[in-house]
Structure 1
Amino acid sequence: MSDSQSTIAVASPADFHVHLRQGELSTLVTKHVRQGGFNVAYVMPNLKPPITTTDEALLYRAQLQAIDPAVQYLMTLYLSPDLTPDEIRKASRAGIVGVKSYPRGVTTNSDGGIESYEAYYPVFEAMEEEDMVLNLHGEVPSDAAANTCVLNAEPAFLPHLRKLHARFPRLRIVLEHATTRAAVDCVKSLGDTVACTITAHHLALTVDDWAGQAWNFCKPVAKYPDDRQALRDVIKQGLWFAETEDRAHVSTAMFISAGHPRFFLGSDSAPHPPETKSSATPQHACAAGVYTSPILLPLVAQLLESFGALDRLEGFVSTYGRAFYRIPIASGEAKVTLRQVQGKIIQEKWAEGNQSVVPFWAGKELVWEIVG
C-alpha cells in the first residue's frame, strides 16, 4: 500500500476459472476480463457442445482472441468418454493446459459429465506424464437414497479427491471453487500437487444470501457462516518458517504474513441472460452462476479488506496461482493499480446488441477502482 493506504499495486492478476460462453454472449463478456483487472483467463470448456478435442479448444481460443487479443487464454478440455491418452498428448503439444471434470448433472452444461473416475485412469496417467492439470468440480449429484443434496455434495466428493491424489501423486489437481471448511482442510492435508480455487462470491455469501435470491444462486451453493470463515482464514493465514536450516536444533522461528500458496482465485464468473436468472418454472430452475468478471479485482480487494487480508491480495490473485500453473509474469509487464474511492456504484447491467448480463452486487458500492 502507499499514499496513506489509498492505493495498492498488484502484479499481473490471473483468473484461474472463468466462463466466457460462446456466440454473442461471449462477445459481450470476454471484454470484461480485462475490464475487471485481469489479463490471464483459465477458460472453462462446458459449452454446447462441450470442448472435448484439441482442435475445438484451439478454435475457441482463436475466437476469444478475436474479441480481445490482449488477454492470455489458457484452454481446457472437457473430460468425457471421447478423451483419449493420445488426445491428451496432442493437447499438451498444442499448449492446452488442463482437463475439467464435471460430475453428471451438477451444474451448467454438465449433462455429459462423468459418473466414475476409474474409467479415466489411462487419461490421468497421460496427463501426469504430460504435466497437465486436472480441474475437479468437487460435488456429487444429489441422491435421496444417499442423503446427498447441494448442502453436503462437496464433503461427499472429497474421498474421490483423496483417492485420485493417492493414485496419481504427481498429477497436478485443482479442487475448484471450494465452499466448505471440510474442503479447505482436505486440500491442506494433501501434497503440493493439490491446490484449490476460491471465488469472490463465496467469500461474501452464505446460505441465507441465496435462499430465495436467484442472483446469488450458483453451483456449488454458498454454505454456512463457518464454511465462509474457513475460506477467509486460509487466505488470511500466515506461515511459520524456521530461522535456521538445522532442523534438529531449531530454537526460533518467524511468522510470515503470506496466505496459503495452494489457495488462489478462480472466479467461476458465470454469465447468464437475465431472464434465465430471474425466473424459474416447475420444469426449469433458475440458472446457476454468479457474474463477477467486470468488477473482479476491486471486488476481491474490498472483500479481503473487510476481513483484514488486503495485504494478501497479490498472492491470492496473482503469484500463487501463477506458481502452481507455471504461468510466469511476462518481462516488463506492468502492475495493475487500485485506488480507494467513494460513491462508485456497480452498474445494474452490461449490455451489447441483444445480450445483457447482471453483475454480482449490482447497485452496491465498491470502495476500490482500477486506475487508468
Structure 2
Amino acid sequence: MDTITVPAPADFHVHLRQGDFAALIAKHVRKGGFKLAYVMPNLKPPIANTDQALFYKAQLESIDPTVQYLMTLYLSPELTPDEIWKAKAAGIVGVKSYPRGVTTNSDGGIESYEAYYPVFAAMQEAGLVLNLHGEVPSNAASNTCVLNAEHAFLPHLRALHAAFPRLRIVLEHATSRAAVECVRSLGATVACTITAHHLALTADDWAGQSWHFCKPVAKFPDDRAALQEVIREGHPRFFLGSDSAPHPPHTKATAAPDHPCAAGVYTSPILLPLVAHLLESFGALDRLEGFVSSHGRTFYGFPIAEGEHGVVLRKTPGKVVEEKFIDGEQSVIPFWAGREIGWEIVEN
C-alpha cells in the first residue's frame, strides 16, 4: 500500500511540559498526526487537583485548540474521594500513579497503594481510570534495579485489580514479556499502553546512549518481541501511549554523577509515521488503526466519531527525520533524528 488513512489517531500517554517549553511541544501532537492527547500530570508542581488540571488544559488549548486534551491528576496525599467526584464532574479522565523516585518529577510519588484504597473506590464508582507507572524503586536488598523493576511491580497490579475489579486500570508503557502476559491474564478492565520507541529499542540501544534512555528502560530482545507479537495479534487491550517525553538537549547530553541524563524519549512530532514504519517492519501494518486509534478509544470510552476525517499517510522511501525542532530559545531533539523513516503525513 502506498497510502493509508487512519481515522482519529489517539495518543493515550504524552508529556507536554509547561511554560515556554510547552509552547514548542504541544504543537507537535498535531504535527505527529494526533488529535487526542492523554496528558500526564508530572509537572513542577504536579497537577494534583481539578482546578490545576483545568488551568493546565486551558494553557494547552491556547497553544493548539485543535487537539482534544484529556486531563489526569497526580496521585498524592491531597487527592481525596471528594476530589475524585469533583474531577469527574469537570471531565477529568484519569489519575496517574508514580512510585516515588522512579522517573521524571516523581519525588512526590507513592510508597503504599493501600493508603489510597478509598480514592480507588471512588474512582471505580465515578469511572475514572487509574494509570500506573509500572515499576518499583531500585533496592539492593531485594536485588531490584531498572532491568527488573517492572517485573517486581506486577504483583501490585494483580492486587489492585483483585481489590477493585470494576476499576479501569492501564499499565503504562510496558517493556517486558512478563508485563504483557500479566495484562493478558487479567480481566477486561485492565489494559496496557505500548510506546513507539520500545518497539524499536533494546538495552543495547540505551547503554551508553543517553538519547535512548527512558523509564522504564528498554529490556531484552525477547521482551521487545513480546510487544511486537501482541500488536501483530491485534489484542484489543493493548494500544498506543507514546510516553513522548521531551527534555532540553543539554539535560539529555549530560552524564555527570550529580546530574544524570534526563529520562525520556521524544517521539511526538513524528509519531504516526514512526509507528507505521515500525509496524511495517514486523509485519503488523494491518493492525495500525486498532493500535493507534480504535483500541484505546474503545477502552477509554472516546469512540471514533461518525464521519471522522482520517489522517493520510504516504509511503515515502528516503524520508529523513529532522535533527532538531526549534522555537525561539527552546529546542528539542526527536527520536530517530537523521534516520530514514518510511512514511509521511500528507493529510492531517
Deviation digits for residues 122-156 of structure 1 (CA, Å, limit 9, x no counterpart):
00000000010000000000000110000000000
1:211-290 to 2 correspondence within 5 Å?
Answer: 211-237=207-233, 259-290=234-265
Q: Which residue of the partner structure matches residue 256 of structure 1? A: none
1:1-372 to 2 correspondence within 5 Å?
Answer: 5-237=1-233, 259-372=234-347
Aligned counterparts of 2:146 and 2:86: Cα–Cα separation in 1: 36
RMSD: 0.5
Task: Measure how far apart 1:332 and its partner are.
Answer: 2.7
Give 2:312's aligned amino acid: T
Aligned counterparts of 1:316 and 1:43: Cα–Cα separation in 2: 18
Aligned counterparts of 1:154 and 1:342: Cα–Cα separation in 2: 37
Deviation digits for residues 36-75 of structure 1 (CA, Å, limit 9, x no counterpart):
0000000000000000000000000000000000000000
Give 2:40's aligned amino acid: M
Task: Measure how far apart 1:282 and its partner are.
Answer: 1.3
Aligned counterparts of 1:40 and 1:295: Cα–Cα separation in 2: 15
Task: With the length of structure 1 as denominator, give the TM-score of the two structures.
Answer: 0.93
Runs in 1 of length 4+ with deviation above 6 angstroms?
none
Aligned counterparts of 1:159 and 1:307: Cα–Cα separation in 2: 31
Deviation digits for residues 65-92 of structure 1 (CA, Å, limit 9, x no counterpart):
0000000000000000000000000000
Task: Measure how far apart 1:343 and its partner are.
Answer: 1.9
Aligned counterparts of 1:77 and 1:126: Cα–Cα separation in 2: 14
Aligned residues: 347
Task: Measure how far apart 1:327 and its partner are.
Answer: 0.6
Gaps of 5+ in 1: 238-258
Task: Measure how far apart 1:317 and its partner are.
Answer: 0.0
| 3-state SS, counterpart of residue 301 of structure 1 | helix
Give 1:10's aligned amino acid: V
Identity %: 77
Task: Measure how far apart 1:330 and its partner are.
Answer: 2.7
Deviation digits for residues 279-335 of structure 1 (CA, Å, limit 9, x no counterpart):
121112100000000000000000000000000000000000000000122333201
Gaps of 5+ in 2: none
Aligned counterparts of 1:158 and 1:56: Cα–Cα separation in 2: 31
Give 1:55's aligned amino acid: D
| 3-state SS, counterpart of residue 365 of structure 1 | coil
Deviation digits for residues 167-220 of structure 1 (CA, Å, limit 9, x no counterpart):
000000000000000000000000000000000000000000000000000000
Larger Rg: 1
